[in-house]
Amino acid sequence: MTEVPNNDFRDWILFKVDNKTLVYDESVHSDEINNLSKIQKARYDIALEEMLMSGAIYKVPKESKYILTSLGKKVLENGSFTIWSPQISSDLNLNKKFSKSEKTSNIATKISVGVGIGTLLVLISQVVIDLTMPKTIQGTVQVQTEETLNQELQSLKTKMDSQTVSLRSLEAEYHKISKKLDSTYHKNLKVIK
């Protein structure tokens, strides 16, 4: 079994850092890491993750090497993680709070975008309705006006037709009366002679 100082794998990793390069190389300590029990390996992984989250170390991309940061160097110079535990715990809490606020911010952004898109759709539909409705109303008014005018025109035609019939009958009556007057006038004229 590997001896872990203060029962804290963060300290174990910290003390395995090369003093010259300030680099922790997992491949150099792979034999020790492979000899850990499952529980110890899980604690080792958690300790490594906590150190990354607190900013004590930085992972070199695509390698099994970790560089000690200024915080990690300060912890190394002043003892161990168990001494600095309260400060680092508060830093971890800040990281958690930050990640929670980031998630909340992402959700709020998505909601805002959704509301914006919904509002835009409502405005577009309102513009479409405004552009199409006046034409429909105007067309309806024209149809109603044409129907009314046609009805009025038809009633005027009917009146004119009836008045034309009346005028013809009056003319016929006038011709009859004028013939009677003419014949009466000629008769009276003969009688006087």
- Whether 40 maps to a domain, the answer reads yes
Residues 6+ apart with CB under 8 A from 33: 26, 41, 44
Residues 6+ apart with CB under 8 A from 56: 10, 14, 68, 69, 71, 72, 75, 81, 88
- Whether 193 maps to a domain, the answer reads no
Instruction: Determine the Cα–Cα distance for residues 150 and 29; give it in Å rounded to an integer.
Output: 103
Q: What is the pLDDT along the chain (193 residues), one digit of tens a residue?
A: 456 665 678 888 888 888 888 899 988 988 888 888 898 899 899 989 988 888 888 999 888 899 988 888 888 887 777 666 555 555 555 555 556 666 777 787 888 888 888 888 888 888 888 777 755 555 555 555 777 777 888 888 888 777 777 777 778 888 888 788 777 777 766 666 5
Give the CATH number for residue 25.
Answer: 1.10.10
- Whether 74 maps to a domain, the answer reads yes
Q: What is the pLDDT of residue 10?
A: 86
3 state SS for 49-97:
HHHHHHCCEEECCCCCEEEECHHHHHHHHCCCHHHHHHHHHHHHHHHHH
Structural domain range at position 30: 5-79
Q: What is the pLDDT of residue 157?
A: 83
Query: Taking Cα atoms as reference points, which of 30, 10, 28 lies closest to residue 76?
Result: 10
Question: What sign does the CA torsion over 29, 30, 31, 33 have?
Answer: positive
Q: What single-letter amino acid sits at 51?
A: M
Number of domains in the chain: 1
- Whether 137 maps to a domain, the answer reads no
Please, which residues bridge with residue 67 across strands? Answer: 23, 58
- Whether 177 maps to a domain, the answer reads no
Instruction: Determine the Cα–Cα distance for residues 3 and 13; give it in Å rounded to an integer.
Output: 12
- Whether 147 maps to a domain, the answer reads no
Q: What is the pLDDT of residue 66?
A: 92
- Whether 20 maps to a domain, the answer reads yes
- Whether 36 maps to a domain, the answer reads yes
Q: What is the total residue count of the chain?
A: 193
Q: What is the pLDDT of residue 1?
A: 45
